[in-house]
Amino acid sequence: MSKQYQFKLVLLGESAVGKSSLVLRFVKDQFDDYRESTIGAAFLTQTVTLDDQTTVKFEIWDTAGQERYKSLAPMYYRNANCAVVVYDITQSASLEKARTWIRELQRQADPSIVIALCGNKLDLAARRQVSQEEAKKYADEEGLMWTETSAKTGEGVTEIFTAIAQKLPLTAPSATRAGGARAGPGARAGVDLNKQAASAGQPEACNC
Amino acid sequence: MDEEYDVIVLGTGLTECILSGLLSVEGKKVLHMDRNDYYGGESASLNLTQLYRKFRPTQSPPTELGRDRDYAVDLVPKFIIASGELTKILVHTDVTRYLEFKQIAGSFVYRDGKISKVPSTEMEAVRSPLMGLFEKRRAKKFFEFLQGWKDDDPTTHQGINLDKDSMKVVYEKFGLEPGTQDFIGHAMALYLDDDYITKVARPTYDRIILYTSSMARYGKSPYIYPLYGLGELPQSFARLSAIYGGTYMLDKQIDAIVTDDEGKFVGVTSGGETVKAKQVIGDPSYFGAGTDGGKVRVVEEGKVVRAICFLKHPIPGTEDSDSCQIIIPQNQVNRRHDIYIAMVSSTHNVCAKDIYVAIVSTIVETDRPEQEIAPGLSLLGPIYDKFVDITPLYTPTSSGENDNIFITRSYDATSHFETVVEDVQDVWKRVVGSDLVLKKREVEVQG
């Protein structure tokens, strides 16, 4: 019998390091050189197949720009199972920013959260300011996963999400629900407004 | 900050966040600021550190209460009516994807010194200790009349005209006792006082139907509540706004509201910089409420007293409910306004295990507000700790149509969010110039 596990994944990192591009590459296998700051990117999901029996579905939360002025809501970190903290290998300051986000995660998020540090823009390696050694050393010290990616070429993108999926504790599906991963409407412990609104057959709920 | 915005929104209370979210979805360029370093303004949910900072700045929270991060204590005691207007906005904007809801386990009413469940079905009414045998029959006829009412079928009207006759006429037709009228008017129609009795019956009919249909939706009570506290609601609408391009700045002191020679809004000054926008929306605290500085654009309409109480047990007489509402109708305690109790607990992820958070509130009628809520406090049993807040209710002095300054109202004493949505609709109409029409967001294809 195949099993699907669902996890909440949050993205963090300084503006313009390529958080949204990374997700766009992972979810839709697209890249846009002149992508505007995140607008309208609602709620993305992508499934990773681990083996014949097991798939992991990521529910991906982008910052929607709320990181810019220290305005990320506690809701953002709440029940996050994993985080991808992104820096730009051509901007050494962005790694400093990543360290700040990792401290914030350690403070606000669940202690069991899986954190991956991700150096993006590998296609611009000629302009590299952050060495692999420096980033890897920091990641090892903090017990983080680490890799470099290029959202532009796609290099390393699927790999990092797959690696995260492999590292997440795959307990029984019911346990992942209790752990906070929202496993779709049917799996919620509480009441589902959407479902009820549809099945209650109240016409006024739909034409207001 | 040298950009120009369509709308600047001040304060991240629920009203402001819903408006910000809806305006961003509509394509407006929104800048949303708050002087606090947390979301929610007057409708925030605070952790212990924030709660103590607000009420007892010199004291730190007792370790006995447990972990700081387990707490989300609401400042305003309100529940969401399952079939009400806020639910519609939550569903239509799809912010429900960021939230999880649970039912409130029970709805109770105080009568003759004790509390009983508010009957909401015929079965419950028949078993309810609130009414004697003959009164039950009369009440049954009354509810059958309401449920059977069809506007276009005069045979269901039994000689009553809901749009002309007062509620008094309806009560008298069915011969309902004053005590029964109390629980119908206050615990079901959720009126805060008795003024509705002499008014036309239609709004009361609508409110009772809303109550019973909400009750029918999930079963235990007409209310639902977001896990992690009411403060999640503004956060979810703020996220909606941000996703549609809204810019968020917390922890920003607002130094001045800048206007031109004619008094029209120009911009907002913060940290020595002035950001320009066509319009500004904000809660009363940004427009002179309770301060000496700046132009005062709001007026105080009254005061609400709220006592946040930490208990180590469920409220006695509520069948050990993990959450409940208790309404004390004004007649029962010789007042003009009802006293409300709203209780939630760790089931809703708002406090540590085995702690219960009850908020007792009412509209202030005397110069000794704390004494006015004593009948409510006495129902709670031993109170571990109590934080009392007396909050003025502000309303704007002008519509904003002349100066492009649009001010929201304070959170009132009602036990639900229906008046908050009315305020959202009202401000929307003034800001945009047309009625708020909720469009379903496009459903994106999920991979």
Say how many CB pairs under 8 Å bridge A and B.
103
Pick the closest to residue B411 from B392, B387, B389 (CA basis).
B392
How far B32 CA lies from chain A's nearest CA (Å)? 10
Q: To probe the interface with A, which of B220, B223, B239, B270 has the most A CB atoms within 10 Å?
A: B239
All residues at 6 or more sequence positions from A199 whose CB lies less than 8 Å from its CB, including other chains: none
Give the ipTM.
Answer: 0.84
Complete DSSP assignment for A99-166: HHHHHHHHHHS-TT-EEEEEEE-GGGGGG--S-HHHHHHHHHHHT-EEEE--TTT-TTHHHHHHHHHH
Mean pLDDT computed over every residue of chain A: 83
CB < 8 Å to B447, chain A: 27-28, 44-47
Backbone angles phi, psi at B193, to 5 degrees: -145, -175
Task: Determine the pLDDT at residue B398.
Answer: 93
**In b/e form, how buried is each residue of B324-356, taking b as 16+ CB within 10 angstroms?**
bbbbbbbbbbebebbbbbbbbbbbbbbbbeebb
Over range B74-80, report the average pLDDT: 97
CB < 8 Å to A79, chain B: none
Question: Where are the domains positioned within chain B?
Answer: 4-56+229-298+394-439, 81-106+299-393, 121-218
Do the chains contact at A194 and B91, CB–CB below 8 Å? yes
How far B295 CA lies from chain A's nearest CA (Å)? 28
Do the chains contact at B250 and A68, CB–CB below 8 Å? no
- A109 pLDDT more than 50: yes
Do the chains contact at A205 and B88, CB–CB below 8 Å? yes
How far A182 CA lies from chain B's nearest CA (Å)? 9
Do the chains contact at B100 and A182, CB–CB below 8 Å? yes
Three-class DSSP category at A170: coil
**Residue B128 pLDDT grade (very low, low, confident, very high; cuts 50, 70, 90):** confident
**Rounded Cα–Cα distance for residues A195 and B439 (Å):** 18
Strand partners, A77: none
**Residue B224 pLDDT grade (very low, low, confident, very high; cuts 50, 70, 90):** very high
Tens-digit pLDDT profile for residues B350-399: 999 999 999 999 999 999 999 999 999 999 999 999 999 999 999 999 99
Do the chains contact at B88 and A68, CB–CB below 8 Å? no
Helix (H) or strand (E) holding B263: none
Do the chains contact at B97 and A68, CB–CB below 8 Å? no
How many helices (H) and strands (E) chain B has is answered by 12, 19
Q: Are B44 and B231 in contact (CB under 8 A)?
A: yes
Residue among A76, A190, A196 whose CB faces B227 most closely: A190
- A42 pLDDT more than 90: no
Task: Determine the pLDDT at residue A9.
Answer: 96
Strands B247-249 and B30-33: parallel
Q: Are B420 and B86 in contact (CB under 8 A)?
A: yes
**Residue B447 pLDDT grade (very low, low, confident, very high; cuts 50, 70, 90):** very low
Over range B198-215, report the average pLDDT: 95
Tens-digit pLDDT profile for residues A125-159: 999 999 999 999 999 999 999 999 999 999 999 99
List of domains in chain A: 3-207 (3.40.50.300)
Three-class DSSP category at A95: helix
- A184 pLDDT more than 70: no
Do the chains contact at A193 and B217, CB–CB below 8 Å? no
Backbone angles phi, psi at B33, to 5 degrees: -125, 155
CB < 8 Å to A46, chain B: 447
Helix (H) or strand (E) holding B136: helix B133-148
First-to-last C-alpha distance (Å) of chain A:
43
- B46 pLDDT more than 90: yes
Three-class DSSP category at B291: coil
Q: Are B178 and B197 in contact (CB under 8 A)?
A: no
CB < 8 Å to A189, chain B: 100, 102
CB < 8 Å to B87, chain A: 193, 197
Structure tokens at B234: 């503004």
Instruction: List the CATH code of the domain at B121-218.
Output: 1.10.405.10
**Residue A92 pLDDT grade (very low, low, confident, very high; cuts 50, 70, 90):** very high
Q: Which fold has domain B4-56+229-298+394-439?
A: FAD/NAD(P)-binding domain (3.50.50)
Structure tokens at B159: 């000689």
**Residue B446 pLDDT grade (very low, low, confident, very high; cuts 50, 70, 90):** very low
Do the chains contact at A75 and B437, CB–CB below 8 Å? no
Give the residue numbers in A contacting B (CB under 8 Å), as ranges. Answer: 27-28, 38-47, 62, 64-66, 68-71, 73-76, 78, 182, 188-194, 196-197, 200, 202, 205, 208
Q: Are B160 and B173 in contact (CB under 8 A)?
A: yes
Pick the closest to residue B433 from B141, B47, B41, B26 (CA basis).
B26
Residue among A38, A42, A190 whose CB faces B100 most closely: A190
pTM: 0.91
**Rounded Cα–Cα distance for residues A201 and B404 (Å):** 40
Tens-digit pLDDT profile for residues B100-115: 999 999 999 999 889 9
Distance of CA A133 to the CA centre of its chain: 24
- B49 pLDDT more than 60: yes
Do the chains contact at A27 and B447, CB–CB below 8 Å? yes
CB < 8 Å to B444, chain A: 42-43
Q: Which fold has domain B81-106+299-393?
A: Guanine Nucleotide Dissociation Inhibitor; domain 2 (3.30.519)
Of residues B413 and A179, more confidence is placed in B413
Task: Determine the pLDDT at residue B444.
Answer: 43
How many C-beta neighbours within 10 Å does residue A152 have?
18
Q: Are B420 and B15 in contact (CB under 8 A)?
A: yes
